[in-house]
């Protein structure tokens, strides 16, 4: 127990994360055992089977075997769903009434990994995280080399069929779309879905090695070739996702990225949502659309979004600033009910955006330009110890003189502390500092009245952050 609590492994905004070396072996087995014990205490072990999926990280297969050993040791049957998107795993497990574990570090570097846990009814809550930690034991769990039933094809097919049934056939006829494949587990399913709806696809940047892709970090070197590919191949758009396929990426035909919260907003409007649930980091223009009866703001992290979606009235859509979209109750597409899937999905927001553009006879850029959103940008400082980020944020929150000095060029009109520190300036712009819950990073989000204002604010915010925590 001591070695686990003192390791790099921590629950963040979405699951357990830490160094892969800390997770492999007994740690993965013990956390899996703790998860199963927690479910047992809740009476939610389901049908006696536990589904496992994984991303393409070098460590993911070994950790999958560790999870399987712990499942077998608990007297349950481990089921291998292979390298599939996280929402595909969740959908398949929920359909079977079973729990699931996704082995993934999502978008963080390859030397890290993690576990995402799913009850038979969906993604775990913060209360479940506490229950898992409370159930952690010290026992050694043997490598049982447990046999794994293979349902990888079935899981992928169920996920594909969900989207196939939700949009009209041929809706993307005449479109030429690049699929930035890198090492995302969503790469093959994305291409297949686009071709099913009539698009011509171009494979881009497929990698045998794992590539950490943060779909919000547009300045990362991994994205540098994309605008050139748009021109070289005459593409109408480029689509992609992060490592485990639950955060979307979209570039328009002009070589510009589409922000994730714009994608989420498009989904909500496309399906006629009445209630939208989204973190405080999503664009403030969402309320100004007037399209929804209710907009609920939360802390960053899927558990908070899911919690707020529960019991919300009408057709409910949740989404994060990264574009990962959650389907709640009461949602219909193509005239039929879309079953709830309260975990991030990358494919739905991509298809909704492309479908809307095709239906209107517009480009992706034209669809996005029509949204009443503030110009928004984000960046992050990497390799920042949490203690330094915490000290900086605490001083900004508690020392008024210090905060006024830092924000002297812009002034402070209001401060929200729902998650991190979100400052409204006297001119109505926004600067938001927040420590990442998944990695040693300090993030900076900004909104400005124009793209130039937003860029200047972000440059200023990053200079301040580097000065104070560097």
pLDDT score, position 5: 60
Lowest model confidence (mean pLDDT) among 20-34, 95-109, 167-181, 428-442: 428-442
Q: Are strands 10-11 and 16-19 parallel, antiparallel or unpaired?
A: antiparallel
274-312 pLDDT tens trace: 999 999 989 999 998 999 999 999 999 899 999 999 989
If asked whether residues 132 and 169 sit together in one domain, one would say no
Q: What share of the chain is helix, strand, coil (3-state, %, to 5)?
A: 35, 25, 40
- What whole-number distance in Å separates Cα of residue 243 and Cα of residue 105? 8
80 within 8 A of 148, measured Cβ to Cβ? yes
What are 322-370's pLDDT values in tens digits? 999 999 999 999 888 999 998 999 999 999 999 999 999 999 999 999 9
Q: Which residues pair with 435 in a beta bridge?
A: 442
pLDDT above 60 (res 393): yes
* Number of compact structural domains in the chain: 3
Q: Which CATH number do you get for residue 379? A: 3.30.310.50
The reply to whether 183 belongs to the active site is no
- Quote the tokens at residue 448: 């400005």
How far is residue 186 from each of residues 241, 396, 405, measured CA to CA in Å? 7, 40, 46
145-168: per-residue pLDDT in tens?
878 999 999 999 999 999 998 998
Based on the fold, state whether residues 328 and 392 are members of the same structural domain: no
Last residue of a domain, one of 123, 155, 187: 155
The reply to whether 230 and 323 lie within a common domain is: yes
Report the CATH number that the domain containing residue 199 is assigned in CATH.
Answer: 3.40.120.10
**Residue 6 has what pLDDT?**
61
296 lies in a domain?
A: yes
Please give the Cα distance from 245 to 68 (Å, whole number). 22
Q: Residue 45 has what pLDDT?
A: 87
Residue 160 lies in a domain: no
Asked whether the beta carbons of 100 and 93 are under 8 A apart, the reply is yes
What are the tokens at 367?
A: 């669809």
- What mean pLDDT comes out for the span 38-67? 95
> Is the sign of the CA dihedral 365, 369, 373, 375 positive or negative?
positive
Residues 329 and 229 in one domain: yes
**What pLDDT score was predicted for residue 217?**
83
pTM score, whole prediction: 0.90
> Which two three-digit tokens encode residue 268?
């909500």
- Grouping H, G, I as helix, E, B as strand and the rest as coil, residue 330 is coil
pLDDT digits (tens, 9 = 90+) for 11-35: 987 799 999 999 999 999 999 999 9
Q: Are residues 243 and 357 in the same domain?
A: yes
* Bridge partners for 319 per DSSP: 325
- The verdict on residue 331 lying in a domain is yes
Q: Does pLDDT of 422 surpass 60? A: yes
Element (H, E) at 40: helix 26-42
- Domain end position, chosen among 100, 128, 155: 155
Specify whether 359 is located in the same domain as 340.
Answer: yes
Last residue of a domain, one of 328, 348, 369: 369
Residue 1 has pLDDT above 60, yes or no: no
Beta bridge partners of 250: 239
Query: Is 117 a domain residue?
Result: yes
Q: Is the pLDDT of residue 42 over 60?
A: yes
DSSP string, 274-293: SEEEEETTS-THHHHT---S
190 shares its domain with 97: no
Q: Under a CB-based contact definition with an 8 Å cutoff, are residues 171 and 194 in contact?
A: no
pLDDT at 55 over 80: yes
Q: Crossing angle for the helix pair 347-360 and 152-164, nearest 10 degrees?
A: 30
CB 357 within 8 A of CB 367: yes
Claim to verify: residue 342 and residue 391 sit in the same structural domain: no
- 278, 264 contact by CB (below 8 A): yes
Residue in the block written with tokens 């898992």:
132
Which of the following is catalytic: 60, 69, 106, 193?
106
| Residue-number span of the structural domain to which 99 is assigned | 2-155
Instruction: Please determine, for residue 64, whether its predicted confidence score (pLDDT) is greater than 60.
Output: yes
Residue 147 sits in the same domain as residue 56: yes
Q: Is residue 362 part of a domain?
A: yes
Q: Is the pLDDT of residue 438 over 70?
A: no
Question: 163-199, pLDDT tens digit by residue?
Answer: 998 998 899 999 999 999 999 999 999 999 999 999 9
| Mean per-residue pLDDT, 436-440 | 76
Backbone angles phi, psi at 367, to 5 degrees: -60, -45
Interval 212-237: pLDDT, tens: 999 988 889 999 999 999 999 999 99
The pLDDT-based confidence of 2 (bands split at 50, 70, 90) is low
The answer on 329 and 305 residing in a single domain is yes
- Whether 145 is covered by a domain: the verdict is yes
- Residue 42 domain-assigned? yes
Both 458 and 337 in one domain: the answer is no
Gap between the Cα atoms of 210 and 57, Å rounded: 6
* % pLDDT > 70, the chain: 99
Which DSSP symbol is given to 167?
A: S
* pLDDT, averaged across the chain: 94
Which is more confidently placed, 18 or 4?
A: 18
Same domain, 11 and 141: yes
- Residue 60, classified by CB atoms within 10 Å of its CB into exposed (0-12), middle (13-18) or buried (19+), is buried
The answer to whether position 385 is within a domain reads: yes
């Amino acid at each position: 127990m001591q070695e686990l609590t003192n390791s790099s492994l921590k629950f963040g905004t979405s699951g357990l994360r830490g160094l892969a070396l800390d997770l492999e072996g007994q740690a993965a087995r013990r956390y899996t055992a703790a998860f199963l014990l927690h479910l047992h205490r809740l009476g939610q072990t389901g049908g006696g089977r536990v589904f496992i999926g994984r991303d393409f990280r070098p460590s993911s297969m070994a950790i999958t075997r560790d999870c399987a050993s712990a499942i077998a040791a608990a007297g349950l049957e481990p089921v291998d769903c292979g390298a599939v998107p996280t929402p595909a795993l969740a959908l398949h497990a929920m359909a079977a009434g079973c729990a699931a574990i996704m082995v993934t570090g999502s978008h963080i570097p390859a030397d890290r990994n993690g576990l995402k846990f799913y009850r038979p009814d969906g993604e775990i809550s913060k209360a479940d995280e506490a229950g898992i930690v409370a159930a952690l034991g010290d026992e050694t769990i043997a490598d049982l080399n447990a046999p794994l039933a293979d349902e990888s094809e079935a899981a992928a097919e169920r996920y594909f069929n969900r989207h196939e049934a939700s949009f009209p056939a041929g809706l993307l006829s005449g479109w030429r779309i690049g699929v930035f494949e890198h090492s995302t587990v969503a790469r093959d399913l994305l291409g297949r879905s686009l071709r099913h709806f009539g698009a011509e696809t171009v494979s881009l940047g497929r990698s045998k090695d794992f590539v950490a892709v943060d779909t919000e970090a547009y300045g990362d070197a991994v994205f540098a070739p994309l605008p050139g590919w748009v021109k070289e191949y005459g593409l109408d758009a480029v689509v992609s996702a992060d490592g485990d396929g639950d955060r979307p990426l979209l570039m328009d035909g002009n070589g510009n990225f589409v922000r994730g919260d714009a994608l989420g907003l498009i989904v909500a409007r496309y399906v006629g949502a009445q209630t939208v649930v989204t973190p405080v980091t999503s664009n403030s223009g969402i309320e100004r659309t007037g399209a929804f009866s209710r907009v609920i703001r939360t802390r960053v992290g899927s558990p908070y979004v899911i919690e707020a979606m529960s019991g919300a009235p009408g057709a409910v859509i949740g989404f994060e600033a990264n574009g990962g979209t959650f389907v709640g109750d009461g949602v219909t597409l193509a005239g039929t009910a879309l079953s709830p899937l309260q975990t991030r999905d990358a494919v739905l927001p991509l298809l909704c955006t492309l479908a809307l553009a095709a239906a209107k006879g517009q480009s992706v850029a034209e669809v996005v330009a029509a949204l009443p959103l503030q110009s928004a940008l984000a960046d992050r400082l990497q390799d920042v110890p949490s203690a330094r980020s915490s000290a900086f944020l605490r001083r900004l929150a508690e020392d008024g003189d210090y905060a006024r000095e830092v924000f002297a060029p812009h002034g402070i009109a209001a401060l929200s502390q729902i998650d991190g520190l979100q400052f409204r300036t006297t001119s109505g712009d926004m600067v938001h500092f927040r420590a990442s819950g998944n990695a040693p990073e300090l993030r900076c989000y900004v909104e400005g009245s124009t793209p130039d204002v937003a860029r200047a604010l972000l440059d200023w915010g990053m200079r301040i952050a580097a000065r104070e925590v560097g």
